[in-house]
Chain A
Amino acid sequence: MTRLWPQGTPITVACDDAGEPQRFVWQGERHSVSAVVGRWRLDMEWWVAPVRRDYYKLSTEGGLLVEIYHDLAGGQWYLQRLYD
Chain B
Amino acid sequence: MDYVELHAHSSYSLLDGASHPEELVARAAALGMPALALTDHDAVYGAPAFQRAAREHGVKPLFGAELTLAGGHHLTLLVEERSGWHNLCYLVSRAQHAAAKGEAFLSPAELVGCTGGLIALSGCRQGAIATALRQGRRRQALAIARRALRLFGRQNFWIELQNHLLPGDARLQRELASLAAYLGVGCVATNNVHYAEPSARRLQDVMVCIRHLTSLDACHALRLNAEYYLKPAGEMQALFSEHPEALANTLRLAERCQFELAFGVQELPQYPTGGMSSSAYLRRLCELALEERFAPTDEQARAQLLHELAVIERAGLANYFLVVWDIMRCAREKGILGQGRGSAANSLVAYLLHITPVNPLARGLVFERFLSDERSAVPDIDLDFQANRREEVIQYVYDRYGRDHAAMACTFATFQARSAARDVARALGLSTAVAEAAIAYLTTGETPAFLSEADQAPLALLLELCAQLEGHPRHLGIHSGAMVVTAAPITSRVPTEPATMPGRSVVQWDKDGLEQVGLVKIDLLSLRVLSAISDTLALVEETTGETIDLPGLTYDDPAVYRMIARGDTVGVFQVESRAQTQMIPRLQPRCFEDLVVAISLIRPGPIQANAVHPYLRRRAGEEPVAYLHPLLQPALESTLGVLLFQEQVLLIARDVAGFTPGQGELLRRALGARQAGAEVERLRGVFLSGAAQRDVPLEVAEQIFEQLKAFGSYSFPRSHATAFAVLVYQAAWLKCHHFLPYWTSLLNNQPMGFWSPSVLVGEARRRGVTTLPVDVSRSRERCSMEGDSIRLGLNYVRGMGEGHAQRIVAGREQAPYTSLEGFCRRTRLPRRLVEHLIAAGAMDGWGVARRQLLWQLAALRYEAEEPELDLSYVEDEVSLPALSDTESLLMEQGVTGVSTGEHILAFYRAGLQARGVLDSEQIRGCPGGRRVRLAGLMVVHQSPPTAKGTHFVTLEDEKGLVDVVVRPRLYRQVRHVLRQPLLLVEGIVQREGAVSVLATGIRRLEG
Chain A residues proximal to chain B, CB less than 8 Å: 38-44, 46-48, 54-55
**Cβ-neighbour of B227 out of A39, A41, A44 (below 8 A):** A41
**Cβ-neighbour of B216 out of A39, A40, A47 (below 8 A):** A47
Contact between chains at B170 and A43 (CB < 8 Å): no
Question: DSSP majority for the B interface?
Answer: loop
Q: Which of the four size classes fits the interface of chain B?
A: 20 to 34
Contact between chains at B226 and A43 (CB < 8 Å): yes
Residue in A closest to B427 when the chains form the complex, CB atoms: A47
B202: chain A residues within 8 A (beta carbon): 46-47
Contact between chains at A44 and B222 (CB < 8 Å): yes
Residue B169 CB within 8 A of the other chain: yes
Q: Which of B214-269 contact A (CB under 8 A)?
A: 216-217, 222, 224-227
- CA gap between A10 and B940 in the complex, in Å: 70
Give min CB distance, A8 to chain B, whole Å. Answer: 16
Chain B residues proximal to chain A, CB less than 8 Å: 165-171, 201-202, 205, 216-217, 222, 224-227, 428-429, 461
- CA gap between A25 and B165 in the complex, in Å: 25
Contact between chains at B167 and A40 (CB < 8 Å): yes
**Cβ-neighbour of A40 out of B169, B217, B428 (below 8 A):** B169
Residue in B closest to A47 when the chains form the complex, CB atoms: B216
- CA gap between A43 and B227 in the complex, in Å: 9
B170: chain A residues within 8 A (beta carbon): 38-39
Contact between chains at B224 and A42 (CB < 8 Å): yes
Q: How many pairs of A and B residues are in contact by the CB < 8 Å rule?
A: 37
- CA gap between A43 and B225 in the complex, in Å: 4
Residue in A closest to B202 when the chains form the complex, CB atoms: A46
Contact between chains at A44 and B167 (CB < 8 Å): no
Give min CB distance, A43 to chain B, whole Å. Answer: 4
B205: chain A residues within 8 A (beta carbon): 46
**Cβ-neighbour of A44 out of B165, B168, B169, B224 (below 8 A):** B224
A38: chain B residues within 8 A (beta carbon): 167-168, 170-171
Give min CB distance, B404 to chain A, whole Å. Answer: 48
- CA gap between A40 and B225 in the complex, in Å: 9
Contact between chains at B216 and A43 (CB < 8 Å): no
Contact between chains at A47 and B225 (CB < 8 Å): no
* 21 chain-A/chain-B pairs, Cβ below 8 angstroms: A38-B167, A38-B170, A39-B165, A40-B165, A40-B166, A40-B168, A41-B165, A41-B225, A41-B227, A42-B224, A42-B225, A43-B201, A43-B224, A44-B222, A44-B224, A44-B225, A46-B205, A47-B202, A47-B216, A47-B428, A55-B167
- CA gap between A43 and B428 in the complex, in Å: 17
A55: chain B residues within 8 A (beta carbon): 167
- CA gap between A41 and B167 in the complex, in Å: 8
B429: chain A residues within 8 A (beta carbon): 47
A47: chain B residues within 8 A (beta carbon): 202, 216, 428-429, 461
Can you add 11 more A-B contacts, CB < 8 Å, to A41-B225, A46-B205, A47-B429?
Answer: A40-B165, A40-B167, A41-B165, A41-B227, A43-B225, A44-B225, A47-B216, A47-B428, A47-B461, A48-B217, A54-B165
Give min CB distance, A69 to chain B, whole Å. Answer: 12
- CA gap between A25 and B459 in the complex, in Å: 44
Give min CB distance, A34 to chain B, whole Å. Answer: 17
A42: chain B residues within 8 A (beta carbon): 224-225
Give min CB distance, B214 to chain A, whole Å. Answer: 13
- CA gap between A22 and B171 in the complex, in Å: 22
Give min CB distance, B466 to chain A, whole Å. Answer: 14
B227: chain A residues within 8 A (beta carbon): 41, 43
- CA gap between A47 and B430 in the complex, in Å: 11
B226: chain A residues within 8 A (beta carbon): 43
- CA gap between A20 and B84 in the complex, in Å: 45
Residue in A closest to B166 when the chains form the complex, CB atoms: A40
Give min CB distance, B329 to chain A, whole Å. Answer: 61
